[in-house]
Amino acid sequence: MASTARGMWTAIRSMSTKRLRKPNRNPLMKIVLLENIPSLGEKGAVTEVKRGYGRNFLIPQGKALYLNRDTRAFVNPEAKSAAEMQALVPDEVAKMAKIERHINKKLVELHRNKSKTFEVTPDAISVACKHQLWLEVPKERIEIVNPITKHGLHYANIHLAPDRVASLQIDVMPV
């Protein structure tokens, strides 16, 4: 009788601890390619592959990275759809044309404390353009070629379109 009772409790215990597994409803994962792979795409493209192929082959060999916030920087703008890149809102196109007409080779003055260390950011340049030139330049479109950490004359590029760039002079003056 003891052996039957023990067997019964073992069967009950194994039934209660048995977990139900959910089926794998999404067997694909998104990755960013670091190399040109003929069957998947070009460098910088975002593709979906089976999890095993991505985890066991592509990522360990350094051919791809998991797609997350940090790796979105590797995404190629050319890899996006052409319609998405060409679909600039007409209002934004007019705004960029106005900036191109008025900002090319203009001078913006920024005042920074002489005794403290500083760095001029695209946000500060955008605010200075708004106050001094009366133009709203999106800070995402401002590219500082060399970090601006000293007083004097510096240059920044403003990307108006994928093929158009305007140049802006920045004079950092001591206070």
Residue spans of the domains in the chain: they are: 24-86, 90-174
Q: Is 68 helix (H, G, I), strand (E, B) or coil?
A: coil
What's the CATH architecture for 90-174? Answer: Roll (3.10)
Q: What would the pLDDT profile of 66-112 be if each residue is shown by its tens digit?
A: 888 777 766 755 545 545 545 555 667 777 778 777 777 688 888 88
Half-sphere exposure for 131 (CA within 13 Å, toward CB): 9
Amino acid identity for residue 91 in this structure? D
Helical (H) or strand (E) element with 128: helix 122-128
What's the whole-model pTM score?
0.48
Q: Are 103 and 133 within 8 A, CB to CB? A: yes
Q: 83 vs 55, which has greater pLDDT? A: 55
Domains 24-86 and 90-174 share a fold: no
Q: Identify the pLDDT of residue 27.
A: 86
Structure tokens at 149: 């950490």
Domain 24-86 has CATH 3.40.50.1010: no
Q: What would the pLDDT profile of 133-169 be if each residue is shown by its tens digit?
A: 888 888 999 999 899 999 999 999 998 877 888 889 9
Q: Are 156 and 92 within 8 A, CB to CB? A: no
Q: Is 19 helix (H, G, I), strand (E, B) or coil?
A: coil
Q: How far apart, in whole angstroms, are the C-alpha atoms of residue 67 and residue 73?
A: 10
Q: How far apart, in whole angstroms, are the C-alpha atoms of residue 28 and residue 1?
A: 53
* 155 CB neighbour count, 10 Å cutoff: 13
